[in-house]
Amino acid sequence: MSTKLKHLAIAVVLMCLAPATNVAAQSTNAVGNNEIILHAWSWSFNTISQHLQEIKEAGYTIVQTSPINECYVGDNGGRQLFGNGKWYYHYQPTDWTIGNYQLGTRDEFKAMCDKANSLGLRVIVDVLPNHTVIDRSHINARLDSAVNGRENLFHANGLWPINDYSDRYQCTTGEMGTLPDVNTENPDFQYYYMQYVNDVLACGARGFRYDTAKHIGLPDEPRDPKSPQNDFWDVAMGRKAVKGLWLSIPRDQLFIYGEVLQDRNVPEQGYAKYMDLTASSYGWVLRNVLNKHNAKEGDLLNWHHSVDPAHLVTWVESHDTYCNAHESAGMSDELVRLGWVFLTARQYGTPLFYSRPHGSTRDNYWGDNEIGKVGNDEFKHPAVHAVNEFRHINANEPENIIISDNGKQIIVERGKKAAVIINLDEQAATVSIPVTIENGKYRDAVTKQQLQVKKGVLNATLEPMTAYILSK
């Protein structure tokens, strides 16, 4: 397969020579989602600031940072993603205050938020109230003092490993992967944590991603013996005050979603009452389709979630699928891009683009291996930019998805005047495609190539592993 033919990756809509599946979107909302998230993974605050104009021009509306809290300083303060330093050290809080040695200071964070807001971009912060640093000797004395002693910081069950993740008591009160489980129901902790949240908002952030959200219990779930009531989410979402302290900005003015990874016995509907949720199963299905180069390898018409798709955050890959077991790291940038075109062209779900490390290859997942550095250029690739704009332009148009009989083509139509065609085939494909968009000439947003629909059929030769984004 010629790599020269693969760089176009953009969109249109089609059906193949053989019969195809044709399904409209299903949601309780008539208007589609318009937000698009760039996960500026492990970029420093200053690096994000330097690239905000590019992020805006690429069509994103939200920038998600890595955790900004004070965190564990390991490997003598090394700043490699993996090696002499670790990206996941900022997921080991030593205190809930803004700023850490990996990403930058509070002042730098505020300056970045100010610039983002001036450009009409929203910053959301990855927060993790559920656990502390593994080595508890590194916990800041301020945190111990805030809860009146270390013995009040953790659940009674908080230092016992979770053996059964489908057991909700273990899942919400036990030690996850050696990370001690914070007593998030302790009013003293809630008060301290909400001071941090409100400071983040005062600096200009306008939302949060809640890490390991499914490990914090809902009101009707089993209580830890040290927890008076499971009210963390009510406090965090501004439904109630803790010791007189409220969430400083109304919940409906913030974009908040939770990492509620799907598994057995996870009360998705309960969490959805508080925030949007991650569509982790859908991401797995999509990656399987992409890796097999065949849309018949998974049901892409089903969101694989019990929650309205208008309230799901979708991705081709996340930082966890890339970093933890390298589940998605072997996928080529081109393949991920095709998946992004599909997700972003859809009417529902809020797509999140994970920015892979700068210089990364399929043989070297860490690339330049520097915390704080900008990711690779994929976040602003012409095809990514084009489909992001396609989403904004067609936000109010209903979707219609068509999958060719052989599974090699996926089509997303938006209304009657715009469509995306994704050719998963590793060979060029000549197709005759029945479509529902209007007859006439359409222009591909990246190549500027013109395609024509006559009598409800698009006849075209599609390049291998390419997407086309068409509009009149």
Residue 367 phi, psi dihedral angles, 5° rounding: 55, -130
pLDDT digits (tens, 9 = 90+) for 112-165: 999 999 999 999 999 999 999 999 999 999 999 999 999 999 999 999 999 999
CA angle 415, 423, 394 (to 5 degrees): 20
Given this model, what pLDDT does residue 49 score? 98
- Which residue in 259, 378, 399, 413 is the catalytic one? 259
- What mean pLDDT is reported for the chain? 93
> What is the reported pLDDT for 54?
98
Report whether pLDDT(11) > 50: no
The rounded distance, in Å, linking the Cα atoms of 333 and 344 is 16
* 1-25+398-472 CATH pick, 2.60.40.1180, 3.20.20.100, 1.20.1740.10, 2.30.30.830: 2.60.40.1180
Mean pLDDT for the stretch of residues 72-90: 97
**C-beta of residue 398 within 8 angstroms of C-beta of residue 406:** no
* pTM summary value: 0.94
Contacts with 56 (C-beta within 8 Å, 6 or more apart), sequence order: 119, 120, 121
User: Could you tell me the pLDDT band of residue 3, with boundaries at 50, 70 and 90?
Assistant: very low
Within the chain, which residue ranges are assigned CATH 3.20.20.80? Answer: 31-396
Instruction: Identify whether the C-beta of residue 112 lies closer than 8 Å to the C-beta of residue 106.
Output: no
Mean local confidence (pLDDT), 284-305:
97
Which residues on neighbouring strands pair with residue 114, listed in sequence order?
none
Catalytic residue selected from 54, 167, 199, 211:
211
User: Which pLDDT does position 451 carry in this prediction?
Assistant: 87
Active site residue 211: yes
CA dist 290 and 394 (Å) reads 25
Q: State percent of the chain over pLDDT 90.
A: 89
**pLDDT exceeds 90 at position 8:** no
CB atoms within 10 A of CB 164: 12
Structure tokens at 81: 């993603």
Closest by CA to 341, choosing from 442, 446, 220, is 446
β-pair partners for 62? 37, 122
Beta bridge partners of 466: 423
CA dihedral 425, 323, 355, 66 (to 10 degrees): 150
Beta bridge partners of 450: 443
The predicted-structure confidence for 167-196, as pLDDT tens digits, reads as follows: 999 999 999 999 999 999 999 999 999 999
Give span(s): CATH 2.60.40.1180, the chain. 1-25+398-472
The CATH H-level (homologous superfamily) assignment of domain 31-396 is Glycosidases (3.20.20.80)
Range 198-212 average pLDDT: 98
Please say if the pLDDT value at position 212 is more than 90.
yes
Contact 469, 390 (CB under 8 A): yes
Packing angle, helices 45-57 and 106-118, rounded to 10: 10
- The predicted structure's pLDDT at residue 459: 86
> Is the pLDDT score of 92 beyond 90?
yes
Is the pLDDT assigned to residue 323 strictly greater than 80? Answer: yes
Active-site residue flag, 54: no
> Considering just the CA atoms, what is the radius of gyration of the chain in Å?
23
- Quote the pLDDT of residue 10: 30
**What is the model's pLDDT at position 124?**
98
Characterize the bridge pairing of strands 69-71 and 276-278: unpaired
Per-residue pLDDT of 417-440, as tens digits, reads: 999 999 999 999 998 889 999 999
Tally Cβ neighbours within 10 Å of residue 284: 16
Which pLDDT value is given to residue 290?
98
Tell how far CA 205 is from the center of its chain: 17
Ranges 6-10, 86-90, 162-166, 424-428: which has the least confidence: 6-10
- pLDDT for position 405: 87
Q: What pLDDT does 29 receive?
A: 67
Query: Angle 305-307-309 (CA atoms, 0-180°, nearest 5)?
Result: 85
Q: What is the pLDDT of residues 350-399, one digit of tens each?
A: 999 999 999 999 999 999 999 999 999 999 999 999 999 999 999 999 99
pLDDT value at residue 32: 84
2 or 297, which is more confident: 297
pLDDT at 104: 98
Predicted local confidence at residue 293, as pLDDT? 98
Alpha-carbon distance 298 to 355, whole Å?
25
Band the pLDDT of 27: cuts 50, 70, 90.
low
Angle at which helices 382-393 and 333-345 cross, to 10°: 10
pLDDT above 60: residue 239: yes
Residue 232 belongs to what H/E stretch? helix 232-236
At 15 the pLDDT is: 28
Q: pLDDT tens-digit profile of 45-59?
A: 999 999 999 999 999
